[in-house]
Copies of this chain bind each other. A is one copy, B any other.
Amino acid sequence: MKRIAIQGTLGSFHDIAAHRYFEGEDIELICCATFEDVFKSIRHDSQVIGMLAIENTIAGSLLYNNELLRQSGTQIIGEHKLRISHSFVCLPEEDWDDITEVNSHPIALMQCREFLSQHPNIKVVEGEDTALSAEIIKKEHLKGHAAICSKAAAELYGMKVLQEGIETNKHNFTRFLVVADPWQVDELNRHRNREPNKASLVFTLPHTEGSLSQVLSILSFYRINLTKIQSLPIIGREWEYQFYVDVMFDQLLRYKQALAAISPLTKELKILGEYEDGKSTL
Contacts and interface: CB of A to CB of B under 8 A. Distances in A.
Interface in A211-260: 212-214, 216-217, 219-221, 223-231, 233, 235-236, 243
Nearest to A229: B231
A209 B227 CA distance: 10
Contacts of A217: 210, 213, 216-217
Contacts of A60: 60-63
A110 B64 CA distance: 11
Interface in A30-68: 34, 57-64
Contacts of A209: 220, 223-225
A3 interface: no
Copies in the complex: 2
A216 B224 contact: no
A231 B224 CA distance: 16
A162 interface: no
Interface string A47-91: 000000000011111111000000000000000000000000000
Nearest to A170: B235
Interface stretch (A14-22, A118-126, A138-146): A118-126
Given A59-B63, A125-B123, A126-B125, A219 B225 contact: no
Given A124-B125, A209-B223, A213-B216, 14 more contacts: A57-B63, A60-B60, A60-B61, A106-B126, A109-B126, A124-B126, A207-B225, A210-B219, A212-B226, A212-B229, A214-B220, A216-B216, A229-B230, A229-B243
